[in-house]
Amino acid sequence: MNQITLYAISADEKVELLEALGHDGVRFETLPAEKTRSGEPVTIALIGLSAIAVTGLVAYLLKGRKSGRATIGHMVIATPKGTIELRNVQLEFEEEKEASAQMINALQKWMTGAIPKSG
């Protein structure tokens, strides 16, 4: 299954992700200190990729924003063809009315470029 993993999730972000994705759309794990760069435990969010999950992820990224930029600090995408690790993903959107559609398009465009094509 395709999956996005978001790293360093705060307690507030955990609540917001649950509100946006529901208990079936996201699960959380805590990496023990010895498995992290900082030497501190880190909470990660595991999101299975589906239309509903992407819509919820977009709602989470847009929360409190009308336009501008959303940054995802550390993300891993797992696909049947392998795993991609990315940092500081910038998703931009401009029009207040179409912010959600723009964010979905930006996420889709970014993912299309990031995921290796089958050959």
Domain around 62: 3-114
Tally of domains in the chain: 1
Q: Dump pLDDT digits (tens) for 28-50.
A: 999 888 877 778 888 999 988 77
Question: Residues of the chain with pLDDT > 70: what percent?
Answer: 71
CB atoms within 10 A of CB 89: 16
User: Does a structural domain hold residue 119?
Assistant: no
User: Does a structural domain hold residue 14?
Assistant: yes
Q: Dump pLDDT digits (tens) for 70-88.
A: 777 787 877 777 787 777 7
User: Does a structural domain hold residue 96?
Assistant: yes
Residues forming beta bridges with residue 110, ordered by sequence position: none
